[in-house]
Amino acid sequence: MDRRHFLAFAVAGLARSATAQAPAAPTPAELLGASGEPYFIDWLNGFYAHALAAGTPRTVLDSALSALSPDPRVLALDTKQPEFARPVSDYLRGAVNDERIRIGREKRAAIPELETIEQVWGVPREILIAIWAMESKFGVQQGGMDIIRCLATLAALGRRRTWAESELMAALKILADGDAPRERLKGSWAGAMGQTQMLPSTYLSSAADGDGDGKRDIWGSAPDALASAANLLAKDGWRRDEDWAREVILPAGFDYGLSEGPSEVPYWWAGKGAQRADGAAWSEADAAAKCILLLPSGAAGPAFLALPNHFVIRRYNNALAYALAVGLLADAFAGAPPLVRAWPHETPLSLDDRLAAQTALASLGYNPGQADGVIGLGTRQALRAWQKSQAIPADGYLSADMVARLKASLRAPPTPQTLTPS
């Protein structure tokens, strides 16, 4: 019996192993030479049968999953929670640096395919180069983890099994389609591959051929990686000829409670006193776009009117700091001067501080959502409501000062107006 038939026999054998009296047939995991704890072996046997039933060619499965074992680093990384939350200001000082701006400007001039990519998908080349810079340092750091091993580990661990299995199926399809050889599927432990760090499913849906050789090579071809990012952004709703955000200057007495609030055109915001920091006029397209006010470091830092394209970048990576870094790098590649208002220097908040702030907001009658140390929209809105009650700028920004004030207000005696007059 050759190996191929042996595996088919083994898979069929799994179904009747409970009742069979004969010695148990080797399982797929045994035939593949897999190793690991029982949870991994059980998962692999089940997945092999599932992938085979779904039509994955046996040759692809056998070579892709040969000698597989779980990667202990993935478990460690998947459960790691940083003790300190890095402030946006600190992240941006690191991400938008002179060296990166210099390289980005060079790349902008050195890749002739960018002209066509920009015309076809309508995404400015500077945005694409900024994503490239953020994702892999212009293709240099693509991540050396074995994507199939990482996804198999994540699937076997079970916390995100459905997601990891569907990404693993997509990776197998990339191999079956002949888009890349097994050894090419390298990237980050969370499954992102290539110069623009795409998940296997994103590769299948959105990878594009930017250099015209008929292949979609996001690992080895910068034009392919950039075209793929452009195609993905276009599918996610990138609006041609519109900007991503503009810095604005807010007047004294401005209602900071409007941040992350109404979505209005720049003219409406001008009525509230928000003026472009560079003094330039809005383009016709931007003037008609609905904008949201963002205060990434609170009232102490720069303010932005975020156009719809900002939120398209957030679909690539849903972190405000990431989207700001991409936009600000893109502006810098195009020659824009630094921000008018500098980023403040901030103290990173510990998990204990973040939890204490959430607990305090809940005790004071505001609803920050679950006390999990993640300062999301719910916590920021609760903070804004409390800040309003204290007549301090309602920017919804949890600074070290706000944590101290929240802690103090828990300890403070009732304010005079709530006491019964004596």
> What is the C-alpha separation between 42 and 308, in angstroms, rounded?
46
Enclosing H/E stretch for 6: helix 3-16
CB of 210 to Ca ion, least distance (A): 6
Residue selected from 106, 115, 213, 352 as contacting Ca ion according to rule CB under 5 A:
213
Q: What is the C-alpha separation between 259 and 261, in angstroms, rounded? A: 5
31 vs 207 by CB, closer to Ca ion: 207
Least CB distance from residue 179 to Ca ion, whole Å? 10
230 near Ca ion (CB under 5 A): no
Supply 17's token pair: 């192993």
Q: Which stretch binds Ca ion (CB under 5 A): 23-31, 81-89, 203-211, 256-264?
A: 203-211
Report the DSSP pairing between strands 245-249 and 275-276.
antiparallel
167 interacts with Ca ion by CB under 5 A: no
Is residue 215 involved in binding Ca ion (CB under 5 A)?
A: yes
Q: Is residue 152 within 8 Å of residue 67, measured between CB atoms?
A: no
Which of 108-116, 202-210, 243-251, 320-328 is the region at the interface with Ca ion (rule: CB under 5 A)? 202-210
CA distance 130 to 318: 16
- If one counts every other C-beta atom within 10 angstroms of the C-beta of residue 359, the result is 15
Exactly one of 211, 286, 331, 346 binds Ca ion (CB under 5 A); which one? 211
Residues 353-392 that bind Ca ion (CB under 5 A): none
Mark the segment that binds Ca ion (CB under 5 A) among 31-39, 64-72, 216-224, 257-265. Answer: 216-224
Span interacting with Ca ion, options 30-38, 217-225, 309-317, 318-326, rule CB under 5 A = 217-225
Which residues touch 165 (CB under 8 Å, ≥6 apart)?
47, 50, 151, 155
In whole angstroms, how close is the CB of 180 to Ca ion at the nearest point? 12
Residues that bind Ca ion (rule: CB under 5 A) add up to a total of: 6
Q: Virtual CA dihedral for 109, 113, 119, 120, nearest 10 degrees?
A: -150
Residues in touch with Ca ion (CB under 5 A): 209, 211, 213, 215, 221, 224
